[in-house]
Amino acid sequence: NIVHRDISPQNIIVTYLGDVKIVDSGVAKSSSQSSEDSKDGQLKGKVPYMSPEQAAGGNIDWRSDIFAVGVLLFELATGKRLFKGASEFETLKLICDKDYPRPSEVKPGFPPALDRIIMKALEKDRDKRYQSAREMQSDIEAFVREERIPVSQISLTQWMQSLFEDKLAQQK
């Protein structure tokens, strides 16, 4: 029952060996802690990756992190930012008050199955969102199998090592 509250690109690390890690749990919160979200009315986390309930200063649970993963997946798959207002306040309004674009509206030819996965992760009503990260993972894995997308830790390791070949050679 731990909520990270700051799932964002800066807090996702891919190692040279292809391991993907979530880091910086400095604002993580356990369900055993007080239900007070923050002190002095300050929000915790990076605004463009906040769930609607987090952006509104409401109570949050693990499904808030699933929403943030949905934002990351939207951005990775479309190459576009999902929530970017002129100010943090405007960004919060986008998250809480506006309809979200479907990835297929942003990127023509977007796979319908991946569109559905992302939009389910981005449901404003957390009861309609994925209820666990494993449930979302299962749908992503099914999509990868159906589309025959070659993914493996070995290929990720090889890609990371090719990207950082010079740095790895220096370390040896």
- The amino acid occupying position 58 is G
* Sequence-distant (≥ 6) Cβ neighbours of residue 64 within 8 angstroms: 3, 5, 50, 51, 53, 54, 126
Q: Which residues pair with 30 in a beta bridge?
A: 2
65 among known catalytic residues? no
Q: What is the DSSP letter of 100?
A: P
Catalytic residue among 6, 37, 65, 139: 6
Backbone phi and psi for residue 132, each to the nearest 5 degrees, phi listed first: -155, 155
CA 69, distance to chain mean position in Å, is 2
The position carrying tokens 């993914």 is 151
The rounded distance, in Å, linking the Cα atoms of 6 and 111 is 28
| Residues involved in catalysis | 6
